[in-house]
């Protein structure tokens, strides 16, 4: 006979107090397993603002991945209609008659337990473990427990916990105002939230967009997730790219869109970008692992495709190659590479060619402008001692040879 703890809830998102509640319950009541069971459609909660089932599932899986006694169950996610604990317990006790179930909940839920569907049935099928998270007085909890024991013969015990005031709602509010939540959630969960843009600009992001996002929504998403300086740079690149496109006979909207999105992965830190690539099955070279500044091109293309709904391969390729360039670039790839370097917000003192020279040349001769930029980049990287990506060197050599 196994003693199984059940952690129900929305987990929107899962956080450290959920995990410590589960762990305290497990050790204080010698549970063999604690099962995290997110609910699909909680009857008493507004569905708005709830991250999708698959996001909540993945966040839980990330959070419990290293804990040998924690498991995940999609029993409630799979059930159609409203989730009732009563139905879950009916299913579990019928299919696993040898096991004992301990339903873990926050002490505050004791107040409303009687309004759940068939409380008497629930009490007959499981022990209740109520955690006092410091938000309710000890007396109140004892009072409720006594009440349910007397009225229903309920088996209710308390989980002792240090008071911790963390709630999913508080975390969502912090995220919406751009605050860091890494002290409240396990690191992989924080990384997941940031990669997927949850609880912030996510209302505009669709899970698998079938059509490209409108430009006006792109502004909203990018300005919400990028730092102001980066966002302004992005606008500069988009405008410059559109101008270059007009002069060189490329599609202006295409160039503008690629410019807007070229740095869309830069809202993530280097470490987060590595984690995101693992999540997305994007392989990284050794040089990229060591120089995370090189990753955001390929990751950006992935995000542009999966979040912004960009299907245009030329745009995706221009985003992919904008940092290192490559030999034989397409017109659009050249335009984005150059626009990134020379947009009006850039003010570096580059050598041996000045920005003014590069800007002037780019409207006359793209290949020559590329050579000038690459010459400046390589000289700069050599001087700073940073390892130069072999791809950058290939690009440089190719466009230098073209000048002969
Ligand atoms: O993303 P941006 O800042 O707008 O510009 P970008 O995409 O060209 O990235 C510039 C960064 O990438 C900058 O920190 C230098 C770095 N970088 C570009 N090429 C190489 C490189 N870093 C190394 N180590 N090697 C390169 O070949
Ligand atoms: Fe970039
Ligand atoms: Fe850029």
Tell me, using a 6 A CB cutoff, whether residue 381 lines ligand 1: yes
Alpha carbon nearest to ligand 1 atom 13, residue: 293
Strand 33-38 relative to strand 70-72, pairing: parallel
DSSP 133: -
CB half-sphere exposure, 114, CA atoms < 13 A: 8
Q: Confidence class of residue 281 from pLDDT cuts 50, 70 and 90? A: very high
Helices (H), ranges, 104-227: 119-125, 138-152, 168-176, 187-196, 215-225
394 secondary structure, DSSP code? H
Q: Which residues have a Cβ under 8 Å from the Cβ of 317 and sit 6 or more positions away?
A: 301, 330, 332, 333
pLDDT above 60 (res 294): yes
What is the 268 CA–ligand 3 centroid distance (Å)? 14
Point out the ligand 1 atom lying closest to the alpha carbon of residue 322.
7
In short, whether 109's Cβ falls inside 6 Å of ligand 1 is no
The atom number, within ligand 1, closest to the CA of 391 reads 27
Tell me the pLDDT tens digit for each residue of 140-187. Answer: 999 999 999 999 999 999 999 988 888 999 999 998 887 889 899 998
Gap from CA of 175 to ligand 1 centroid (Å): 29
Euclidean distance between CA atoms 242 and 256, whole angstroms? 5
Residue-wise pLDDT for 102-138, tens only, equals 999 998 899 999 999 999 999 999 999 999 877 788 8
Encoded tokens for 204: 């505009």
Which of 227, 288, 292, 293 has the most ligand 1 atoms within 8 A of CB, as the residue to mutate? 293
Cis peptide before 102 (omega within 30 of 0): no
**CA 226/CA 243 separation, integer angstroms:** 24
Tell me the β-bridge partners of 156: 128
Contacts of 243 (CB under 8 A, 6+ apart): 363
Lowest mean pLDDT among 306-310, 369-373, 384-388, 392-396: 384-388
Residues in the chain: 404
Give the pLDDT confidence score for residue 159 in this predicted structure. 94
CA gap 389, 226 in Å, rounded: 25
* 72/185 Cα distance (integer angstroms): 17
Count the neighbouring beta carbons within 10 Å of the beta carbon of residue 313.
Answer: 11
Mean pLDDT of 254-281: 95
- Is residue 45's pLDDT more than 70? no
- Residue 255 and residue 332 in contact, taking contact as beta carbons nearer than 8 Å: yes
Question: What per-residue confidence (pLDDT) applies to 203?
Answer: 65
Answer whether residue 43 shows pLDDT above 70.
Answer: no
**Phi, psi angles (nearest 5°) of residue 394:** -55, -45
Q: Is 271 exposed, middle or buried (0-12, 13-18, 19+ CB in 10 A)?
A: exposed
- Least confident window among 26-35, 146-155, 184-193, 228-237: 184-193
pLDDT, residue 42, reads: 59
Ligand 1: which of 240, 294, 395 to mutate, most ligand atoms within 8 Å of CB? 294
């Amino acid at each position: 006979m196994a003693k199984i703890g059940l952690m129900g809830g929305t987990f929107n998102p899962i956080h450290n107090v959920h995990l410590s509640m589960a762990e305290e319950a497990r050790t204080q009541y010698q549970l063999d397993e604690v099962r995290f069971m997110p609910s699909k459609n909680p009857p008493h909660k507004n569905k708005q603002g709830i991250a999708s089932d698959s996001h909540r599932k993945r966040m839980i899986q990330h959070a419990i991945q290293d804990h040998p006694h924690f498991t995940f169950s999609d029993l409630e996610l799979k059930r159609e209609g409203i989730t009732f604990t009563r139905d879950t317990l009916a299913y579990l006790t019928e299919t696993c008659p040898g096991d004992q179930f301990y339903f873990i909940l926050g002490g505050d839920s004791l107040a409303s337990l009687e309004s759940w569907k068939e409380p008497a049935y629930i009490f007959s099928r499981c022990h209740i473990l109520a955690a006092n998270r410091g938000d309710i007085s000890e007396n109140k909890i004892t009072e409720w427990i006594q009440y349910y024991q007397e009225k229903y013969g309920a088996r209710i015990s308390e989980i002792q916990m240090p008071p911790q005031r963390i709630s999913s709602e508080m975390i969502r509010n912090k995220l919406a105002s751009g605050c860091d939540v890494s002290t409240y959630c396990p690191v992989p969960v924080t990384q997941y939230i940031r990669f997927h843009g949850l609880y912030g600009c996510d209302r505009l992001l669709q899970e698998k967009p079938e059509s490209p996002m409108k430009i006006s929504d792109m502004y909203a998403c990018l300005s919400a997730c990028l730092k102001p300086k980066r966002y302004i740079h992005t606008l500069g690149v988009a405008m410059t790219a559109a101008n270059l496109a007009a002069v060189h006979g490329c599609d202006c909207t295409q160039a503008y869109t690629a410019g807007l999105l070229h740095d869309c992965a830069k809202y993530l830190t280097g470490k987060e970008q590595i984690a995101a690539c693992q999540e997305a099955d994007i392989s990284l070279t050794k040089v990229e692992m060591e120089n995370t500044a090189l990753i955001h091109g390929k990751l950006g293309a992935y995000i542009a495709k999966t979040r912004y709904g960009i299907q245009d391969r030329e745009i995706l390729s221009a985003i992919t190659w904008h940092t290192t360039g490559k030999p034989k670039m397409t017109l659009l790839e050249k335009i984005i590479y150059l626009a990134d370097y020379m947009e009006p917000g850039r003010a570096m003192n580059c050598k041996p060619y000045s920005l003014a020279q590069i800007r002037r040349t780019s409207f006359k001769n793209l290949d020559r402008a590329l050579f000038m930029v690459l010459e400046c980049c390589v000289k700069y990287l050599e001087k700073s001692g940073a390892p130069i990506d072999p791809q950058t060197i290939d690009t440089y050599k190719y466009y230098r040879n073209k000048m002969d």
